[in-house]
């Protein structure tokens, strides 16, 4: 297999993701509404909450808006990845996933490429969000916008791999909504996205440890530190390790024929396509 | 070649180790009885100096060789030699000195004695008390106009500005302003005086020629209760463009257009911000945040707070040495 084949396949998957994205372009903007509501409505009510302590990577006192902006970037990626996982279950039901996996290229390559293509859409949304946030006085240093790119990509790979793993477990499309609620909300709320961990520790040490063991906390911190041009080896290391583990598990465990509808049908899979 | 390298390295070491080259800010820590010395380039505390009890107001001599310190609980004004960073003298100040101001002649020091309702004028060269002037109850803020004609004292309980003629040491006029006036700052040309009133939550603009108030401004910080807006320190840029007003427990510094008296922005700093100073180029503004025990640094061009530096407990006054 030549590099050219890989490249051809890579471009193909990207193109398909962008095509899908273009067809659902309203989703691109509506996905921005959620974090913006958090930023404008929720954060406004808590403006005075944080002027108590200076925590790295910040050099001075910050508004609550400034604090939660990186968490909301994480939220965008989280929702996107779960949406991506949903679409993978959907693809599987419709059989287009099977077409993809029929490619002679190695399955991990195909799946990782798919995750990357989803990640690139997330990056677009994160940048659009950061742009709007800048108008609302969330102003990280200019180079931070560049430094945050690898962090967002890494986080979207991690969460994408997690979504993929869930997709391999979930047998039916209908179950997915429930899974999303069980995954997204605890992951988001039990993290440093909305409150710094020292505040959590004040409230309850248990909460603090739950947050510490939540990879999403480290994902958010990786974004936060990168956006403010600081290197946080722990956050990056944990995010990268979790990404590696999840991606390995997900690509190894992914079976296109897990869906019950297909499994219950005696006819050949070609009929589906 | 080798010796050249050696010389360069040596020169670099000397350069690094010479403290006189760095621009320095001095901050009085009211509860620690110390001064913090901050390198304004690296924005780090490089030294802490022990001084008298409860240091509050601090100011530089006009030749920038000495720092005067109101050691309130020691009832004295201390003189710190900046070259050696040692206290070299005490001045008779009257009881509980809090704020003071030095006449441009570099000799006459006007000291507000909060408990005695007087202003003491001391000649710093021979320690003579030249006058004790009766003013309103709880005198606090003290300022001498850059042209040297006026000394202004604010009395907190009487809510007045007392205009003292510096030649006769007599009060020529009293102006009633908002409740609990704290601080007065003159424009560079001595034509306009800005006075903050802490409880009133206002800043009053006084025309010095007519000694009349020409404007009164108030502040509204989003998300902060109005009764926490308590203006104290004021600092003006010498180009007449901006005024900075420290809003106390509102934890913000107001940026004001000094021509139109319009508030341009509110900058978030530490808790209970009181006093301010600008560096020589007026590129950086330092604020003392008493309750949070730190100093915030504002980049004046960008109008952004760029760093907050931990100092001692209850930092009160700040002075940047323009010659360093």
pLDDT tens-place string over residues A42-78 = 877 776 665 556 788 888 888 888 889 999 999 999 9
Q: Is residue B296 less than 8 Å (CB to CB) from chain A? A: yes
Q: Is residue A44 less than 8 Å (CB to CB) from chain B? A: yes
Alpha helical stretches, state H, chain B: 2-17
Nearest to B224 among A44, A48, A59 (CB): A48
Contacts of A59 in chain B (CB under 8 A): 306-308
* Residue A59: closest C-alpha in chain B: B307
Residue B108's pLDDT is 95
Number of Cβ within 10 Å of residue A1's Cβ equals 10
A237 Cβ contact list (under 8 Å, min separation 6): none
Tell me the residues of chain B between 223 and 252 that have a Cβ less than 8 Å away from chain A.
223-224, 251
Contacts of A62 in chain B (CB under 8 A): 268
The interface predicted TM-score (ipTM) is: 0.70
Q: Three-state SS for B230? A: coil
pTM summary value: 0.81
Q: Is residue A62 less than 8 Å (CB to CB) from chain B? A: yes
Residue B60's pLDDT is 94
Mean pLDDT, rounded, for A153-169:
89
B251/A63 CB distance under 8 A: no
Q: Is residue A54 less than 8 Å (CB to CB) from chain B? A: yes
A59/B307 CB distance under 8 A: yes
- Write out pLDDT tens, residues B276-305: 999 999 999 999 999 999 999 999 999 999
Question: Out of A30-39, A138-147, A228-237, which region has the weakest mean confidence (pLDDT)?
Answer: A30-39
Task: Say if residue B19's pLDDT is above 50.
Answer: no
| Inter-residue contact B217 to B263 (CB < 8 Å) | yes
Nearest to A51 among B222, B251, B304 (CB): B251
Number of Cβ within 10 Å of residue B16's Cβ equals 10
Task: Say if residue B14's pLDDT is above 70.
Answer: no
| Inter-residue contact B155 to B135 (CB < 8 Å) | yes
Task: Say if residue A215's pLDDT is above 50.
Answer: yes
A51/B271 CB distance under 8 A: yes
The minimum CA-CA distance between A76 and chain B, rounded to whole Å, is 27
- Write out pLDDT tens, residues B182-230: 999 999 999 999 999 999 999 999 999 999 999 999 999 987 889 999 9
B306/A59 CB distance under 8 A: yes
B76 Cβ contact list (under 8 Å, min separation 6): B52, B90, B91, B92, B93, B97
Q: How confident is the model at residue A1 (pLDDT cuts 50, 70, 90)?
A: low
Q: Is residue B271 less than 8 Å (CB to CB) from chain A? A: yes
> Which string of b and e fits A207-227 if b means at least 16 CB within 10 Å?
bbebbbebbbbbbbbbbbbbb
Distance between CA A252 and CA A61 in Å, rounded? 46
- Could you tell me which residues are beta bridge partners of residue B299? B284, B304
Mean pLDDT, rounded, for A144-157:
94
For A200, the token pair is 């959590």
* Residue A51: closest C-alpha in chain B: B270
Q: Is residue B305 less than 8 Å (CB to CB) from chain A? A: yes
Full strand arrangement of the beta sheet holding B118-123: B97-102, B108-113, B118-123, B129-134
Residue B81's pLDDT is 95
Mean pLDDT, rounded, for B27-34:
96
Give the DSSP letter string of A53-105.
Answer: ---TT-SS---HHHHHHHHHHHHHHHHHHHHHHHHHHHHHHHTHHHHHHTSSS
């Amino acid at each position: 297999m030549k590099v050219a084949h890989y490249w051809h396949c890579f471009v193909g998957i990207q193109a398909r993701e962008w095509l899908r994205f273009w067809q659902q372009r309203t989703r691109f903007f509506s996905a921005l509404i959620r974090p913006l509501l958090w930023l404008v409505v929720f954060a406004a009510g808590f403006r005075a909450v944080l002027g108590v302590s200076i925590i790295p990577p910040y050099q001075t006192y910050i508004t609550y808006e400034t604090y939660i902006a990186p968490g909301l970037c994480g939220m965008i990626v989280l929702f996107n990845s779960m949406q991506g996982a949903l679409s993978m279950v959907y693809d599987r039901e419709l059989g287009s996933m099977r077409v993809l996996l029929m490619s002679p290229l190695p399955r991990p390559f195909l799946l990782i490429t798919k995750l990357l293509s989803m990640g690139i859409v997330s990056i677009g949304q994160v940048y659009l969000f950061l742009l709007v946030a800048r108008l609302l006085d969330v102003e990280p240093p200019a180079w931070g916008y560049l430094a945050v790119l690898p962090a967002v990509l890494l986080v979207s790979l991690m969460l994408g791999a997690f979504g993929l793993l869930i997709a391999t477990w979930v047998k039916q499309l209908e179950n997915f909504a429930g899974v999303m609620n069980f995954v997204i909300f605890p992951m988001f709320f039990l993290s440093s996205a909305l409150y710094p961990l020292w505040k959590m520790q004040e409230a309850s040490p248990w909460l603090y440890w739950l947050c510490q063991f939540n990879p999403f906390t480290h994902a958010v911190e990786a974004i936060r530190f990168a956006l403010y041009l600081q290197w946080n080896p722990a956050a990056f290391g944990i995010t990268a390790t979790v990404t590696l583990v999840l991606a390995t598990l997900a690509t190894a465990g992914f079976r296109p024929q897990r869906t019950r509808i297909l499994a219950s049908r005696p006819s050949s899979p070609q009929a589906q396509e | 070649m080798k010796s050249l390298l050696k010389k360069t390295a040596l020169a670099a070491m000397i350069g690094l180790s010479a403290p006189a080259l760095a621009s320095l800010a001095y901050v009085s820590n009211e509860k620690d009885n110390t001064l913090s010395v901050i390198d304004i380039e690296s924005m780090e505390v490089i030294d802490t100096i022990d001084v008298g009890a409860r240091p509050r107001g601090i100011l530089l001599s006009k030749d920038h060789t000495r720092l005067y310190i109101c050691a309130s609980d020691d009832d004295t004004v201390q003189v710190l030699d900046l070259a050696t960073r040692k206290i070299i003298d005490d001045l008779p100040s009257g009881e509980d000195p809090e704020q003071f101001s030095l006449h441009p002649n570099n000799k006459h020091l006007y000291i507000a004695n909060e408990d005695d309702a007087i202003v003491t004028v001391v000649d710093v060269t021979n320690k003579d008390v030249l006058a004790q002037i009766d003013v309103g109850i709880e005198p606090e803020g003290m300022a001498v106009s850059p042209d040297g004609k006026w000394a202004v004292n604010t009395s907190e309980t009487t809510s007045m500005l007392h205009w003292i003629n510096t030649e006769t040491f007599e009060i020529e006029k009293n102006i009633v302003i908002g409740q609990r006036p704290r601080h007065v700052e003159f424009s560079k040309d001595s034509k306009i005086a800005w006075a903050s009133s802490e409880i009133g939550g206002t800043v009053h603009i006084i025309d010095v020629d007519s000694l009349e108030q020409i404007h009164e401004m108030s502040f509204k910080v989003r998300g902060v209760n109005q009764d926490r807006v308590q203006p104290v320190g004021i600092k003006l840029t010498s180009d007449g463009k901006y005024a900075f007003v420290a809003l106390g427990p509102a934890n913000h510094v107001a940026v004001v257009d000094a021509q139109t008296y319009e508030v341009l922005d509110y900058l978030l700093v530490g808790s209970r911000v009181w006093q301010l100073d600008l560096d020589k180029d007026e590129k950086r503004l330092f604020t003392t945040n008493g309750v949070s025990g730190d100093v915030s640094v504002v980049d004046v061009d960008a109008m952004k707070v760029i760093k907050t530096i931990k100092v001692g407990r209850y930092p009160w006054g700040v002075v940047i040495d323009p010659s360093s």
